[in-house]
Structure 1
Amino acid sequence: MVSKPHGGKLIKRLLSERDKKRILEEKEEYPKVRIREGLAVDLENIAHGVYSPLEGFLIEEEFQSVLNNMRLLNDLPWSVPIVLDVNKKELNFGVDDTILLFYKDMPIAEMHVDDIYKYDKKEFAQKVFKTTDLNHPGVAKLMNMGEYLIGGEIYLLNELPNPFKKYTLRPTETRSLFKERKFETIVAFQTRNVPHLGHEYLQKFALTFVDGLFINPVLGKKKKGDYKDEVILKAYETLFEHYYPKDSAVLATVRYEMRYAGPREAIHHAIMRKNFGCTHFIVGRDHAGVGNYYGPYEAQEIFKNFPDLGITPMFFKEFFYCRKCKGIVNEKICPHPLEDRKYFSGTKIRNMIVKGEVPPEYFMRKEVYEVIKSFENPFVGD
């Protein structure tokens, strides 16, 4: 059975065309706050229920509860604060006011201001990212945020331009699709990389236990050196064309700005897929990690604290190619020594591609490599 949304109800914060028209006609009368792209993406995820049960940005009491307990005030698991920051000079409004949020020159959302509060950036960083090191991309972004947070409910007015609309499915749509395909159990796989054979093996291995596989690439702002969105999507399109069972695998994107918060973000990612209707979620090695800030399986261990999450995590050890076994295996089923093992490494594969070397066939499908090489520059720059 398709999972219930987190909190029991799928949130929709979308205005009627009449209300939208009225607000846009009166937009000059509202206080305005300009927001960056990542916040505009968060607004879409709130409005379409990807972040259910949130109906807006966290008020202070909720923010503190998430920071300290990884739960909302009603005790529902929630691990990553979804907040809207502003600088003091932008505070030309007060609590109980209604404001408009703009991305560039486009009004994105109407917001009712329920709370305005200061917060401790170092405490935020330490609790969410387990570090205050500015070399961590999540910490660096946090330290550049405004000194105040605004909490309150939102209604979406407009969406960001979407070059990948064909592959964008909202939770209402994935839930309908899963029901149409008669999937009782669905496992989700999140990715921000092009697929190597380790990923493919992991996804198909998980699929043997459930009815459907939901591959959900994250599109949006990434760190330098990550694969560009269009490269990831094109690589998966190629795999789906040649190697995936069409009746039991679904490919759809989600727009989301990675926090690189390791264990906490693994919980957040699981909640998002629960809202899409998935019953299971693959948590691999170093999920949502960056650098050496988290232990290799810390993102799996944190799930012990959330028996009430409402989605079943599927944990896998690291897969590798064994020359003796002549196949992709993991340490649980392979008896052979380290010298016979070839471990999958995204960094290693990326370096080979930069140098113009073809990854071995046991690392990456030839079709995927050819897709990557068809792009002049497949990686995110500065």
Structure 2
Amino acid sequence: MERDYLYRAKSEIQELYIISKINIGEGMVSKPHGGKLVKRLMSEKAKERTLEEKNSYIRISISERAALDLENIAYGIYSPLDGFLREDDLISVLNDMHLSDGLAWTIPIVLDVNEGNINFTEGDEILLCYNELPIAKMDVDNIYKYNKKEYAQKVFKTTDINHPGVANTYKMGDYLIGGDIKLINEIPNKFSKYTLRPEDTRKLFKKNTWKTIVAFQTRNVPHLGHEYLQKSALTFVDGLFINPVLGKKKKGDYKDEVILKAYETLFKHYYPKDSAVLATVRYEMRYAGPREAIHHAIMRKNFGCTHFIVGRDHAGVGNYYGPYEAQEIFKNFPDLGITPMFFKEFFYCKKCKGIVNEKICPHPMEDREYFSGTKIRNMIVEGKEPPEYFMRKEVYETIMSFENPFVGDE
């Protein structure tokens, strides 16, 4: 009888969950976006031949962002992309948030170049190099101009130069080149032990017999609000995939090594070993709010996740987007192939004596302590331990073990 009761209780919870517009789904590791996991790695034999002949190729220098994008294309994190966007796809992404073949895609993955560096033509094969290291060979299918102001407005919903994504757009070259790539080398990765590719995660999820996996993206150290959100989502699926973003960040963000060590500490003390996985993705944030929320969901779909947590102001910066705009955009993508999990903002209620949200807490604002990344960051800067309802003591001590845990001026 006890087992029957528990089964009924679980069923009722799941029914409530579905009513709240978060579809649990049929329960299987998600198919890659577009149906096939892309793999664009040059064979060892071809790599050896290409490097021997490298002086016969036209070479262009690329940014760290482009090098990371190449890596994400090559390992299928950006499936179905085989390379950088051609003009027809860029126009379609900007105007319709879909590729020209109709598949959902919201963030332009493009390679920019200055006019003075275009010493090649469409149809050429070129080498893309980062700090003189050949990263990839590219078939140049398309060389085209674009309007930076239009690009910024459509991707970031603003042309304000104070928006980091807009500022980066205006620094880009005046031309874009599109075409397929083959990866030769990766840029150095000091966090390789934390790195898993979509092929790896899919095998791991299968080994763990997880049929439903919820992904959580982060670029911050964990506070109690994050933990509560993650564990709330984990209640309804088989496994939790915490996927910190490593790469260039804005001033004041936590350093990569701090984020990883903080999560290691949290995993050690507060997560069951068979229910959560920590692995990184190297990616430069665009801070594109709603559009980037969809992009992040697609990336985790390619990792094999079936669900994706979308919290308040996902991928936002400043006051450029509404607090739940990144959740609302998912209404336009009902067939995305990964189920978003939406959560209201959590806070600590002094009367409830626990972490709650506005849907379940009846008490006034003066009883609420909101999780503020800025507030917690200021406490850490001042050497003050955050209250126990804000951050785990062990996590705080891990952060404080670093002389300077924050990204500074570059």
Pick the TM interval, shorter chain: over 0.9
The one of 2, 10, 15 equivalent to 2:42 is: 15
Query: Aligned AA for 2:267?
Result: F
Task: Give the structure 2 partner of residue 37 of structure 1.
Answer: 64
Instruction: State whether structure 2 residue 93 is matched by structure 1 residue 66.
Output: yes
The one of 225, 242, 245 equivalent to 1:198 is: 225
Query: Aligned AA for 2:106?
Result: S
Instruction: State whether structure 2 residue 179 is matched by structure 1 residue 152.
Output: yes
SS at match of 1:126: helix
Task: Give the structure 2 partner of residue 215 of structure 1.
Answer: 242
State the 1:350 CA deviation.
0.3
Task: Give the structure 2 partner of residue 128 of structure 1.
Answer: 155
Matches within 5 A, 1:151-190: 151-190=178-217
Aligned-partner Cα distance in 1 for 2:91–2:132 = 33
Aligned-partner Cα distance in 2 for 1:324–1:338 = 11
State the 1:47 CA deviation.
0.1
State the 1:276 CA deviation.
0.1
Query: Aligned AA for 1:226?
Result: D
Instruction: State whether structure 2 residue 104 is matched by structure 1 residue 92.
Output: no
The one of 218, 223, 237 equivalent to 2:264 is: 237
Aligned-partner Cα distance in 2 for 1:238–1:353 = 17
Task: Give the structure 1 partner of residue 317 of structure 2.
Answer: 290
Instruction: Encode CA deviations 1:201-231: one digit per residue, 9 max, x unaligned.
Output: 0000000010000000000000000000000
Task: Give the structure 1 partner of residue 22 of structure 2.
Answer: none
Task: Give the structure 2 partner of residue 345 of structure 1.
Answer: 372
Query: Aligned AA for 1:250?
Result: V
Instruction: State whether structure 2 residue 355 is matched by structure 1 residue 328.
Output: yes
State the 1:318 CA deviation.
0.2
Aligned-partner Cα distance in 1 for 2:398–2:155 = 36
Task: Give the structure 2 partner of residue 249 of structure 1.
Answer: 276
Aligned-partner Cα distance in 2 for 1:278–1:371 = 29
Aligned-partner Cα distance in 1 for 2:36–2:167 = 35
Task: Give the structure 2 partner of residue 301 of structure 1.
Answer: 328
Aligned-partner Cα distance in 1 for 2:294–2:34 = 15
Aligned-partner Cα distance in 1 for 2:121–2:334 = 39
Instruction: State whether structure 2 residue 85 is matched by structure 1 residue 28.
Output: no
Aligned-partner Cα distance in 1 for 2:354–2:88 = 52
- TM-score normalised by structure 1 residue count: 1.00
Question: Any gaps of 5 or more consecutive residues in structure 2?
Answer: 1-27
State the 1:308 CA deviation.
1.1
SS at match of 1:152: strand
Aligned-partner Cα distance in 2 for 1:10–1:197 = 35
Query: Aligned AA for 1:139?
Result: V
Instruction: Encode CA deviations 1:45-64: one digit per residue, 9 max, x unaligned.
Output: 00000000000000000000
Instruction: Encode CA deviations 1:283-311: one digit per residue, 9 max, x unaligned.
Output: 00000000000000000000000011000
Task: Give the structure 1 partner of residue 3 of structure 2.
Answer: none
Aligned-partner Cα distance in 2 for 1:295–1:170 = 33
Aligned-partner Cα distance in 1 for 2:349–2:157 = 35
State the 1:74 CA deviation.
1.2
The size of the alignment, in residue pairs, is 382
Query: Aligned AA for 1:153?
Result: D
State the 1:355 CA deviation.
1.2
Instruction: State whether structure 2 residue 330 is matched by structure 1 residue 279.
Output: no
Instruction: State whether structure 2 residue 6 is matched by structure 1 residue 6.
Output: no
Aligned-partner Cα distance in 1 for 2:258–2:128 = 31
SS at match of 1:240: helix
State the 1:325 CA deviation.
0.8
Task: Give the structure 2 partner of residue 315 of structure 1.
Answer: 342
Aligned-partner Cα distance in 1 for 2:61–2:308 = 35
Instruction: State whether structure 2 residue 106 is matched by structure 1 residue 76.
Output: no
State the 1:15 CA deviation.
1.0
Instruction: State whether structure 2 residue 163 is matched by structure 1 residue 114.
Output: no
State the 1:344 CA deviation.
0.2
State the 1:321 CA deviation.
0.4
The one of 132, 138, 141 equivalent to 1:105 is: 132
Displaced runs of 4 or more, over 4 A: none
State the 1:357 CA deviation.
1.2
State the 1:112 CA deviation.
0.1
Aligned-partner Cα distance in 2 for 1:109–1:173 = 22
Aligned-partner Cα distance in 1 for 2:324–2:370 = 16
The one of 141, 150, 160 equivalent to 2:168 is: 141
Query: Aligned AA for 2:386?
Result: P
State the 1:358 CA deviation.
1.0
Aligned-partner Cα distance in 2 for 1:33–1:72 = 26
Task: Give the structure 1 partner of residue 5 of structure 2.
Answer: none
State the 1:73 CA deviation.
1.1
